[in-house]
Structure 1
Amino acid sequence: MDRNDRVVTAFAMLGHATFHTYELVLPIFVVIWLEAFSTTAAFLGAIVGASYALIGIGALPSGLLADRFGSRRLVAACLLGMAASFGIVSVAPTLAVLTIGLLLWGLAASLYHPAGLALISRGTKERGTAFAYHGAAGNVGVAIGPLFAAVLLAFVGWRAVAALLVVPALVATAVGLRLTFDETAGAAARGGDDGTADGDQPRDLAAFVASSKRLFTGGFALVFLTGILYGLYYRAAFTFLPDILADLPLFDPVTAFDRAFEPSQYVYSGLLLLGGVGQYVGGKLVDRIRVETALLGGYAVLAAIAIAFVPAANAGLVPLLAVAGLLGFAAFAIAPINQEAVSAYTAAESRGLSFGYSYTAIFGVGAVGASLAGVVLTHSTPAVLFAVIAGCAAIAALVGASLRSRSAHAGSPADAASDD
């Protein structure tokens, strides 16, 4: 990687780590909020699901803005907005105010992924490696956020923990704005246009509709479908996972130094940390094999893990830890594979738009997974929930197989779209 690749990647890594610090600390708080606000898993799941859905709903306009104005300002606005919204969460006196804070967080967070991923896709020459580092940084946030919260919750209340979580976004903003880089160097090196405001961007509704039709005429439609299925799997699996683990006799609370510790929260943080390794491996993998093959294999593994989760929990601690670790690794290894698929099936000038659609699928439509998990766990069992998410992964594997077959006949993974 040259200097510009490294600086672009570092900037995106800051944003990604901060985004995920907030995103997956929410399930840690869910366990506490169920009691603090005297609500049900179904109702709270709907609220958290709505906040996640706003990430997807806002992703499409964010992608358009990234194509027109560049990514840097959008990422900074995202970081500041997430800090402000968590400030509201920390002082929420009622469930209604908590809901407002979470929804505002979802709106602010929606700015990150289309802008950050379009930046990597257009700004770096070694795209797969950049996605790998970017993904690994996200999992540092994924693991540190819940671990930070779990440790502090043993000593202080949840409101103090939420207030302290404002600090990472402010620090990341200050550091990130000091970095300088060329947002379009990678696309230029590959012979694509720069994808900025002077490029072929939709400037009115008719142009937007035309650009969207072009985008969905090729293989990107199937990539979009895998995004929906991944979002459903991801949200359904992780939103209530701390609660599922806490209900297992294996993870009864432990008292030490007159403090109660929840082993389940540390297991949850540990499996998320393994996701950082998965993100790195997934990003490196798509630099070496066809992205369609990686999609097929990755989703097949996720289906097998979901099927094995409840039997492993019933078998004892060691089998459960093994399958939980594989879940953390594989669920995040697929993310850079999805991102490379979006890049492979779209042209450089529409990367912001394509990532906007992709994250509308993952975070918008996929957010239904959080509500689905809440409803299933309220009325049924974790075994049913994991059977449902195994089905999502199995369908995504079949979509990957279809893309692999199409690309084999076309001779290129992106014949349906002009690549950069």
Structure 2
Amino acid sequence: MSSSFSREERRILVSVSGAHFVSHLHILALPPLFPLLRDTMGVSFLELGFALTLLNLVTFFTQAPMGLLVDRVGARRTLVAGLLLGGAAFVMAGLGGTYSWLLAGAALAGLANSVYHPADYAILGSAIDDEHVGRAFSLHTFAGYAGGAAAPFVMLGVASVAGVAAALILVGLVGTLAAIPLLREALDERPAARRPKGAAKDGPRLLNAAVLSLLVFFAFIAFGNTAIQGFAVSSWEAAHGLSLTAGNVALTAWLALSAIGVLAGGHVADRTKRHGLVAAVGLGAAALLILVAGLGDLAPVALTVVMGTSGFLSGLIMPSRDMMVRAAAPPGQAGATFGLVSTGFSVGGIVGPLGFGWLLDNGEPHGVFMIAAALMGAAVLMSLAQEMRRGRRMALAPAE
């Protein structure tokens, strides 16, 4: 079979990746506006930070149930609902213009955000041929990176011309526009058939060792990413006196090369079945480079090279990571599986900043990198465990 995407696969990939672009655009829409929102709403940065915390908390508590809903009512229906709800959340916040409306919008945006991972991966996993589903996952992830990168330019650009309210309304309307290509299929989608009362239920099989270990695996990766994205620059300054400019250049290299690594990782994922081994090798090497970058007193150029290489390896493993989840999902429960394991991201995003902030406040900047690398190392061990499970399944397959 051809390794290129069919016309129908390209259409699906573009529409679902567009939704992922919107999801990251919405997640990062508020931070660029914080200085302007502080002045227009008369609130503190702490209060504005609470809006982000609220968004993440709502996502954390609703993502796993949303995965079950995806499998029950249909991934396309749920994705369209999420896009429309997310769009309405920002339009509401822009029209309301007060801090209370901002919090209400953040809560609704958090609920909408819980839709994307389970719905997107359920659609791609079922609609894209196995021969190139790894590349589909990589392009989908890259679209999310692009949405996050576009957020500061879009929000500040519109706000500088038309004001904060217009920026919020516009970013909300983008969500509505992204839902349009999915509407027809969503309306035609049939809900999953209900099981007969006497049939065995598939639900408990979701909570198997492979899926639960992947949840922890995702959390460990999220802890590492939180340390790098949120605290690396401050840690370099505190530990080595590195300038903020040099630190941000190194961080930018990590982020940019991560996005490129994701695209390369899609090709790797399509050329091997040993996704756990790919994840272990790439993540292990990335963790070692993080230790070098954090504990070694490197010159700015050397630091940028080390961080760029680490970022590339971190991105390279992402499609294989997603393929591991796809392989672990029980039949008919792809949405629930991706919804459950993706809560690991929320755990890392909620707990990580508190722990790493505490380390910096207590004069332990090296600890930020050491703990991040240690947790990434633990994720390596879990990847190898997943690979061993795959090997055992393969060995038993002929006897079944």
TM-score bin, normalised by smaller chain: 0.7 to 0.9
Q: CA deviation at 1:6?
A: 1.8
Instruction: Tell me the TM-score normalised to structure 1 length.
Output: 0.76
Q: Residue 363 and residue 59 in structure 1: after superposition, are their counterparts in 2 closer, same or farther (change >3 A)?
A: same
Where does residue 131 of structure 1 map in the other structure?
137
> Which of 176, 182, 186 does residue 170 from structure 1 map onto?
176
Q: Distance in 2 between matches of 1:135 and 1:81?
A: 22
Query: What SS does structure 2 have at the residue aligned with 1:315?
Result: coil
Q: Residue 46 and residue 294 in structure 1: after superposition, are their counterparts in 2 closer, same or farther (change >3 A)?
A: farther
Q: Distance in 1 between matches of 2:303 and 2:48?
A: 27
> Which of 23, 26, 29 does residue 22 from structure 1 map onto?
26
Q: Distance in 2 between matches of 1:96 and 1:224?
A: 33
8 Å contact from structure 2 (residues 32, 152) kept in 1: yes
Q: CA deviation at 1:52?
A: 2.0
Where does residue 383 of structure 1 map in the other structure?
366
Q: CA deviation at 1:316?
A: 3.8
Q: CA deviation at 1:55?
A: 2.0
Where does residue 202 of structure 2 map in the other structure?
211
> Which of 274, 277, 280 does residue 293 from structure 1 map onto?
277
Alignment RMSD: 4.0
8 Å contact from structure 1 (residues 150, 266) kept in 2: no
Consecutive unaligned residues of structure 2, counting only runs of 5 or more, are: none
Q: How many residues get paired? A: 387
Moved more, 330-339 or 384-393: 330-339
Percent identity reads 25
Query: What SS does structure 1 have at the residue aligned with 2:258?
Result: helix
> Which of 250, 259, 265 does residue 276 from structure 1 map onto?
259
Q: CA deviation at 1:146?
A: 3.5
Q: CA deviation at 1:200?
A: 5.3
Aligned-partner residue type, residue 330 of structure 2: A
8 Å contact from structure 1 (residues 235, 366) kept in 2: yes
Consecutive unaligned residues of structure 1, counting only runs of 5 or more, are: 184-194, 253-262
8 Å contact from structure 2 (residues 76, 185) kept in 1: no
Aligned-partner residue type, residue 295 of structure 1: A
Q: Residue 365 and residue 139 in structure 1: after superposition, are their counterparts in 2 closer, same or farther (change >3 A)?
A: closer
Q: CA deviation at 1:379?
A: 4.5
Q: CA deviation at 1:27?
A: 5.2
**Which of the two has greater helix per residue?**
2
Q: Residue 137 and residue 39 in structure 1: after superposition, are their counterparts in 2 closer, same or farther (change >3 A)?
A: closer
> Which of 55, 71, 85 does residue 59 from structure 2 map onto?
55
Where does residue 360 of structure 1 map in the other structure?
343
Q: CA deviation at 1:404?
A: 2.3
Where does residue 103 of structure 1 map in the other structure?
107
Q: Residue 249 and residue 389 in structure 1: after superposition, are their counterparts in 2 closer, same or farther (change >3 A)?
A: closer
Q: CA deviation at 1:172?
A: 1.6
Q: Distance in 1 between matches of 2:143 and 2:66?
A: 21
Query: What SS does structure 2 have at the residue aligned with 1:349?
Result: coil
Moved more, 233-242 or 114-123: 233-242
Where does residue 340 of structure 1 map in the other structure?
323
Q: Residue 53 and residue 241 in structure 1: after superposition, are their counterparts in 2 closer, same or farther (change >3 A)?
A: farther
Instruction: Tell me the TM-score normalised to structure 2 length.
Output: 0.79
Q: Residue 244 and residue 51 in structure 1: after superposition, are their counterparts in 2 closer, same or farther (change >3 A)?
A: farther
Q: Residue 266 and residue 358 in structure 1: after superposition, are their counterparts in 2 closer, same or farther (change >3 A)?
A: same
CA-to-aligned-CA distance 1:243-266 (integer Å, 9 cap, x gap): 7799986446xxxxxxxxxx9878
Moved more, 358-367 or 278-287: 358-367
Where does residue 122 of structure 1 map in the other structure?
126
Q: CA deviation at 1:399?
A: 0.9
Query: What SS does structure 2 have at the residue aligned with 1:78?
Result: helix
CA-to-aligned-CA distance 1:310-345 (integer Å, 9 cap, x gap): 357x53432343344345434443332221111112
Greater RCO (CA < 8 Å, at least 6 residues apart): 1
Residue 142 (str. 1) matches residue 148 (str. 2):
yes
Aligned-partner residue type, residue 391 of structure 1: A
CA-to-aligned-CA distance 1:70-117 (integer Å, 9 cap, x gap): 111211222222223234555787766544432321111111110111
Q: Residue 180 and residue 54 in structure 1: after superposition, are their counterparts in 2 closer, same or farther (change >3 A)?
A: closer
Q: CA deviation at 1:226?
A: 0.8
